[in-house]
Amino acid sequence: AQSVTQLGSHVSVSEGALVLLRCNYSSSVPPYLFWYVQYPNQGLQLLLKYTSAATLVKGINGFEAEFKKSETSFHLTKPSAHMSDAAEYFCAVSENDYKLSFGAGTTVTVRA
Give contact residues for other proteins (rule: CB under 8 A): 4, 32, 36, 41-46, 49, 51, 90, 97-105
Write down the least CB distance from residue 46 to other proteins, Å. Answer: 6
Cα–Cα distance for residue pair 37/28, rounded to 1 Å: 26
Name the residue nearer to other proteins (CB basis): 13 or 36.
36
The beta strand positions in the chain, using DSSP E, are 3-7, 10-14, 19-26, 32-38, 44-50, 56-58, 64-68, 73-78, 87-94, 101-102, 106-111
Name the residue nearer to other proteins (CB basis): 82 or 99.
99
Name the residue nearer to other proteins (CB basis): 62 or 105.
105
Cα–Cα distance for residue pair 104/5, rounded to 1 Å: 7
Name the residue nearer to other proteins (CB basis): 4 or 19.
4
Write down the least CB distance from residue 66 to other proteins, Å. Answer: 20
Write down the least CB distance from residue 94 to other proteins, Å. Answer: 9
